[in-house]
Chains A and B, each alone.
Chain A
Amino acid sequence: MKRMMLTTLVLFWAALSLLAQEGLHVAPFYDGRFNKAKDVVSLNVKGSALKPYRLTLYRSLIFERDMPDVERAVLLDGKQAIDREVAHRDGRLLYGFYCLPQTSKKAPLRYLFYRHTTGKTILVYLEGAATLEEIKRMFKK
Chain B
Amino acid sequence: MRTERLFLTPQEAREVLQQYYEGTTTDREEDLLCRFLASEAADGGEFDADRAVMGVLAVGKEVHRPHRTAVLKVAGWAVAASVILAAGLWLRPSSPDCVAYIGGKRYTDRNLIMAQVQSTMGELAEAKEAVSVESQMQGLFN
Contacts and interface: CB of A to CB of B under 8 A. Distances in A.
Interface string A10-28: 0011001000000000000
Contacts of B101: 34-37, 40-42
A141 B124 contact: no
A49 B77 contact: no
A70 interface: no
A115 B97 contact: no
B117 interface: yes
Contacts, number: 98
B110 A49 contact: yes
B120 A87 contact: no
A67 interface: no
Nearest to B74: A1
Interface stretch (B12-20, B40-48, B50-58, B84-92): B84-92
Given A43-B113, A49-B97, A35 B120 contact: no
B80 to A, nearest CB: 8
A75 interface: no
Nearest to A113: B124
A76 interface: no
Given A9-B81, A97-B124, A48 B97 contact: yes
- 6 pairs of A and B residues whose beta carbons are closest in the complex: A139-B121, A47-B97, A95-B127, A141-B122, A42-B101, A35-B101
Interface of A: 1, 5, 8-9, 12-13, 16, 34-49, 58, 60, 62, 85, 87, 89, 94-95, 97, 113, 115, 117, 122, 124, 135-136, 138-141
Given A43-B99, A115-B124, 16 more contacts: A5-B77, A34-B101, A42-B100, A42-B101, A45-B113, A45-B117, A48-B97, A49-B114, A62-B120, A94-B127, A95-B124, A115-B123, A122-B124, A135-B121, A139-B118, A139-B122
